[in-house]
Amino acid sequence: MINIVLFGKPGAGKGTQAEFLRTKYNLTHISTGDIFRFNIKNETPLGKEAKSFIDKGELVPDALTIKMLQDEVEKHPGTAGFLFDGFPRTVAQADELDAFIISKGWQITATIGLEADDDVLVARLLERGKTSGRADDQDEALIRNRYQEYNEKTAPLIEYYKKQGKYYSVDGIGSIADITERLSLVIDKLN
């Protein structure tokens, strides 16, 4: 079983690349954003609880996020592996994910960070904002604020996974095919 954490700043191409990697390696793609949207739309008990925080402009607590993620993992008992996209975002979440994965008799195989210059990513998000309808992709100040949040809370995951010998950095600039090729080179070495 191969379990990969894919992360990078907003606009780094995680969602785009996750789709290629999911298909190529027969992985189950777990996107916390998708899980949140599904649970909220379907008014599950967890979705209602998450929505109560979101409606107040608050972050969904780690314990609730982990519970949703665990429920999603449990839906795929025969998978060849998981591709975690957008989770973990903090060291505390990484600890929780490790504990959960280990309890299943698995491990995180690798964490791959898509690296790109902020100015390039801002341009990507502003372009995406023209069609996505997402307000947070249409305002450069909001985008840069998201990067500050990433630097403070998510960037420490690099050290966390480096200490485990599981961190790989991949250049996230170039064509989609070039980036997919770089990611595949890393993953192929893991098998």
Report which of 26, 91, 40 is spatially closest to residue 68, judged by C-alpha positions: 40
Question: pLDDT higher for 98 or 61?
Answer: 98
Does any domain span residue 34? Answer: yes
Is pLDDT larger for residue 58 or for residue 34?
Answer: 34
Tell me the pLDDT band of 191, cut-offs 50, 70 and 90.
low
Alpha helix (H) residue ranges in 75-139: 91-103, 118-132
> pLDDT: is 94 or 144 the higher one?
94
CB-count burial class (<10 Å; 0-12, 13-18, 19+) for 21: buried
User: Does 113 reside within a domain?
Assistant: yes
**Structural domain contains residue 80:** yes
Burial of 70 (0-12, 13-18, 19+ CB in 10 A): middle
pLDDT on residue 10 = 85
Average pLDDT (118-126) is 89
Residue 31 near residue 47, CB atoms below 8 Å: no
CA distance 87 to 95: 11
pLDDT, residue 15, reads 87
Is residue 182 part of the annotated active site? The answer reads no
The yes-or-no answer on residue 146 being catalytic is yes
For residue 75, the model assigns a pLDDT of 93
Asked, for residue 143, whether it belongs to a domain, the answer is yes
Q: Tell whether 58 is covered by a domain.
A: yes
Domain CATH code at residue 13: 3.40.50.300
Q: How confident is the model at residue 88 (pLDDT cuts 50, 70, 90)?
A: very high
* Given 134, 162, 163, 182, the catalytic residue: 134
Tell me which of 9, 14, 124, 182 is the catalytic residue.
Answer: 14
- Residue-wise pLDDT for 7-34, tens only, equals 888 889 898 999 999 999 999 999 988 8
Domain count for the chain? 1
Binding-site positions for AMP read 32, 37, 58-60, 86-89, 93, 134, 146
89 assigned to active site: yes
Could you list the residues known to form a binding site for ATP, using ranges.
Answer: 11-16, 128, 174
144 is catalytic: no
Domain range for residue 109? 2-185
The answer to whether 189 is a known catalytic residue is no
Closest of 148, 22, 147 to residue 81, by C-alpha: 22
Given this model, what pLDDT does residue 82 score? 96
Instruction: State the pLDDT at residue 89.
Output: 86
For residue 190, being part of any structural domain is answered with: no
pLDDT at residue number 23? 94
**Catalytic residue from among 22, 67, 128, 166:** 128
For the annotated binding site, the residues are: 11-16, 32, 37, 58-60, 86-89, 93, 128, 134, 146, 174
Residue from 22, 51, 67, 146 carrying the catalytic annotation: 146
98 located within any domain: yes
Residue 158 located in a structural domain:
yes
